[in-house]
Structure formats: structure tokens, C-alpha cells
Amino acid sequence: MSMQILFIHGAGDGGYEADEVLVASLRAALGKGYMIGNPEMQWDESALDFGWTKQIGEEIAKVDNELILAGHSFGASMILKCLSETTINKKIKGVFLLAAPFWSGNEEWKAGLKLKTDFAGNLPADVPFFLYHCKDDEEVPVSHFEQYRQKLTWANFREIKSGGHQLNNDLTLVAKDIKTL
């Protein structure tokens, strides 16, 4: 049976389409034995988190067995929010987060995106977490990555010299880490 991976794309105009290239790269680098789901998240203006944590929970519930979670940008931050604020009844083999924003500030629209102060302690125990960030990311500054490094001291951090926000559309490094599970 194939290992199931649930990939949550980034937000914004064309976020799903842009991240389809990341999914294709991951699929090619992993080869056989992995099945990658890439659902298109819907934007719900009435929800504080735009409805993403609920949708992620629903997508996780659809998986038959254990799974790997991966996400890019907004999707990566919403995976953390979902895992730290809801009960997940599936075995998660690993979590792989790419260019995740660390939401802060007092803007009203960010209120539902911010992680709770104790989020790290509410993440599933004994699940490996991997975070990736390019130093030259112009959309999500590397300072966000450093904030996660301070909060998730037990996680694996991969700081990449260059590749921008889309990691040069090359997830070979992520695939290599997934194969270690």
C-alpha cells in the first residue's frame, strides 16, 4: 500500500496552481510508493482562519490509514494551527512545512491565523516535524523561520541558501527527508 501524503497549498491568487508545480516535483522525487493528495482549499471570508483548519481536518479524516502532512506558505501555517488546536484521530508519520509564515501583529484579519502561545506543546507528540525556508524568500522573510526555530526546538530545520518562496520549485530535499521516515 502506498504511503499517503496530504499537501496543502499556499493562498493568494494562483496559489493552488503555483503549488501544483511543487506537488509534481515532490511526486517525481519520491517515485513509487507514495500517493499525494492535493485538494484545492476554498476561501471562506466568514471564518476567522478563512475556513482552512476545518478543511484540513476534513481532508485528514478522509485518509484511510496513516499519513504524512506537507504544506507550503499559508497552507503550512494552517497545518500547524489545525494540529495544535484540534484533535486528530489519524496516525501522522511526519509533518513537512515549507516557507511557513509566523502570524503576528494586531491587524484584525490576522486574529484567526495566529497560533496560540502554547501551540508547540499542543502538537502531536512523537511526530517528526521538518521546516524548510529559503534565505532569499521575498514573500515570507526568513525571520518567520527563526521564530519557529525558537518555538519548536525539537523540530528539524532546513535553511536553504536560495530558491525564493517556491524553493526553485524543487522539493528533492523534502522528498529525501520524507524517505527517512
Tell me if 50 sits within 8 A of 110, measured CB to CB. Answer: no
Sequence letter at residue 25? S
What is the distance between the alpha carbons of residues 12 and 118, in angstroms, rounded to a whole number?
28
Residue 70: CB atoms within 10 Å: 28
Provide the domain limits for residue 79.
Answer: 3-178
Phi, psi of 150 (to 5 degrees): -70, -35
Cα-flanking dihedrals φ and ψ of residue 22, to 5°? -65, -45
Residue 94 sits in a domain of what CATH number?
A: 3.40.50.1820
* pLDDT (average), residues 39-49: 87
Say how many domains are in the chain.
1
SS3 140: coil
Q: How far is CA 110 from CA 47, 48, 115, 180, in A?
A: 11, 8, 10, 35
Place of cell 522539493: 171
What is the chain's length?
181
Q: Please return the burial class of 16, using the count of CB atoms within 10 Å of its CB with bins 0-12, 13-18 and 19+.
A: middle
Q: What is the pLDDT of residues 52-102, one digit of tens each?
A: 999 999 999 999 889 999 999 999 999 999 999 999 989 999 999 999 999
pLDDT at 13: 84
- Residue 157 clears pLDDT 90, i.e. is over it: yes
Quick one: average pLDDT of 111-131? 94
For residue 128, give every residue at least 6 positions away whose Cβ sits within 8 Å of its Cβ, in sequence order, or none: 93, 94, 95, 155, 156, 181
Identify the DSSP state of 162.
S
Calculate what percentage of the chain has a pLDDT beyond 70: 99
Those residues whose C-beta lies under 8 Å from the C-beta of residue 132, and which sit 6 or more positions away, are 96, 97, 98, 99, 158, 160, 167, 173, 174
